[in-house]
Structure 1
Amino acid sequence: MDDGLFRLPAAEVAPGAVHLPGHLGEAGQRELLDACRAWARPPAGLRTVRMPGGGEMSVRQVCLGLHWYPYGYARTAVDGDGAPVKPFPAWLGQWARRVVEEAYGQGPCTVPYDIALVNFYGRRACMGMHRDSDERSRAPVVSFSLGDTCVFRFGNPDGRGRPWTDIELRSGDAFVFGGPSRYAYHGVPRVRPGTAPPGTGLRGRVNVTVRAR
């Protein structure tokens, strides 16, 4: 987000968790959204995630590099059409490293990012409090938001309850969490329909989370 003239500054939400409003400009958003639309096509395209207890997530998902399913990774879409997962693009890893460098104000980031989850939120979709703990790497997780604004709830590593902080993630925003917040619980209680920038042509929200395995 910006005020029409300048980007808002990065804000630390918790130790190691940083919100970068407006990190992607219009061109960057279009480039990433075009890529997401291509990744969503079969084979190993967008699918509904089914939990072990039989429930379905309201968010639909496609994976890059490795296929995530509850609760592990595979090289094929084991809970989808069984096709080999789409490759992780090197440029997306470069984008993630730039976010880390900007968020933490440190030297060159050398994290070998190689997997990503692309989540699509429809108008009524949400994501319960969870933590990203299926990766061996403790490298920071980087996310990019496209389309509708959402309420992003960032909690703590000790459990799903309070304390937490609710922030709005808008199209073009980036968010990174690592260090003491790497395993913090987080979720999306709601999306604000109809808030996507008109130029995206998107109804709903797309979130791309980039990780190292």
Structure 2
Amino acid sequence: MDAELFPRERAEVAPGAVHVPDWLDPERQRELVAACRRWARPPAGLRTVRTPGGGTMTARQVCLGRHWYPYGYARTAVDGDGAPVKPFPAWLDELARRAVADALGPRTVPAGPYDIALINFYDGDARMGMHRDSDEQTDAPVVSLSLGDRCVFRFGNTETRAKPYTDVELRSGDLFVFGGPSRLAYHGVPRVHPNTAPPWLHLTGRLNITLRVSGL
């Protein structure tokens, strides 16, 4: 881990939205990268997401539990190879619940289990436009884990994709949780910084693991 004059501290970016630096230790980061590589293999593996307007997302994606496509969920990779979605492991639910408790407090941990993961892979040119995570039928907090290259994470407001928003640098091992009044805030990734991943992670690019409660 890089030495710094002033260690990074956790911060409430908006009400109900908290950034916790270095939440994952190096061993857990390596375990998650290895798991992502397994999940990315076909069937129902890493794919390019196509938008209803005919465009494509530059970040590629694989899903667990249920398959997300614009704008809903399915049991199969309906816009990929059509194969059944890989199961959501119980240990990811445990990780997500611990993340929410650490970031927002034990009382904010949802009663229902976390059952969906969206895993996005960014190369140096990939971006993610401002969007809301609004296809779930629950207001349970969203858990976001970063692995690999650093990025600019833009966290906005619930009304518009435009300002006001806050830019946060996310690094490998960082946790970001948003719920409560910020659950439907617009957010995106306008920039990835290539070749900034920790050398011991052996990952070129950025992985983002987003854990959600579907309510389905």
Letter of the 1:13 counterpart: V
Q: What aligned pairs does 1:79-118 form with structure 2 within 5 A after superposition?
A: 79-107=79-107, 109=109, 110-118=111-119
User: Cα distance, 1:105 vs. partner?
Assistant: 2.8
CA RMSD in angstroms, aligned pairs only: 1.7
- Which aligned pairs between 1:51-130 and structure 2 lie closer than 5 A? 51-107=51-107, 109=109, 110-130=111-131
- Contact conserved, 1:7 with 1:22, CA < 8 A, in 2? no
* Corresponding residue of 2:149: 148
CA drift at 1:200: 1.1
Offset, 1:111: 4.1
CA shift digits 1:73-132 (9 cap, x unpaired): 000000000000000011011111111111123358344100010000011000000000
Q: State the one-letter code of the partner of 1:29.
A: Q
What SS does the corresponding residue of 2:49 show, helix, strand or coil? strand
Q: Structure 1's 41 and 22: CA in aligned 2 closer, same or farther, altered over 3 A?
A: same
Identify if the C-alpha distance between structure 1 residues 116 and 186 changes in structure 2 by more than 3 Å, giving closer, same or farther.
same
- What secondary structure does 1:96 align onto? helix
- Alpha-carbon contact 1:96-1:113 (below 8 Å) kept: yes
**Structure 1 stretches lacking a partner, 5+ long:** none
Over 3 Å counting, the alpha-carbon distance change for 1:16 and 1:5 in structure 2 is same
**Preserved CA contact (<8 Å) 1:130 1:187:** yes
- The residue type equivalent to 2:99 in the other structure is V
Match status 1:21 vs 2:24: no
Where does structure 1 differ by over 2 angstroms across 4 or more consecutive aligned residues? 1-9, 105-111
List per-residue Cα deviations over 1:5-45 (Å, max 9, x = no partner).
99743210000000010000100100111100000000000
Whole-angstrom distance in 2 between the partners of 1:14 and 1:3:
28
State the distance in 1 between where 2:79 and 2:105 align.
39
Shifted more, 1-10 versus 35-44: the winner is 1-10
Count, aligned residues:
213
Report the Cα distance in structure 1 between the residues aligned to 2:60 and 2:18, rounded to whole angstroms.
25
Normalised by the length of structure 1, the TM-score is 0.96
- CA distance in structure 1 between the partners assigned to 2:200 and 2:177 by the alignment: 25
Higher relative strand content: 1
Once residues 5 and 112 of structure 1 are traced to their aligned partners in structure 2, the CA distance between those partners, rounded to angstroms, is: 40
Q: Is the 8 A contact 1:2 1:21 kept in 2?
A: no
- TM norm structure 2: 0.95
Letter in structure 2 aligned against 1:197: P
Structure 2: 5+ residue runs without aligned partners? none
- Contact persistence 1:116–1:211 (CA under 8 A): yes
* Alignment partner, residue 168 of structure 2: 167
Q: Which amino acid aligns with 1:161?
A: A
1:153·1:186 contact (CA, 8 Å) conserved in 2?
A: yes
Distance 1:107 1:4 in 2: 33
